[in-house]
Amino acid sequence: MKQDEGEKPPKKRFIAGAVCPRCGQMDRIVNYRQNDKNYRECVACGFKDEIRLQSSPRELATRVHRPAGEEEIAVPVKIIQPSKKQT
């Protein structure tokens, strides 16, 4: 890649514990951002690819967590006393 005169090289950071998918070496992967895209690159073998970030999955509706907008409507309940049996 050819860089323009005024353009700074991207800031590269090592990712601790990352393993290269090509050569299998650990702690040789750097992460950097260039032209609004994230890349990872192995400094040992030269492997390079674009990281495509996925959106986080939607949380499932459970009794504990209900998605916004699905609130239950409160309904009053009438309690009826049982009648006593006559013997």
pLDDT above 70: residue 16: yes
Per-residue confidence (pLDDT) for residue 67, from 0 to 100: 63
Give the residue carrying structure tokens 């990712």: 15
Which runs of consecutive H residues, i.e. helices, occur in the chain?
none
pLDDT above 80: residue 86: no
Higher-confidence position of 15 and 7: 15
Distance from the Cα of residue 37 to its chain's centroid: 17
pTM of the predicted structure, to 2 decimals: 0.52
The string of pLDDT tens digits covering residues 24-80 is 999 999 999 998 889 999 999 999 999 887 766 677 777 676 666 666 788 999 999
What are the residue boundaries of the structural domains of the chain, listed by start?
A: 13-51
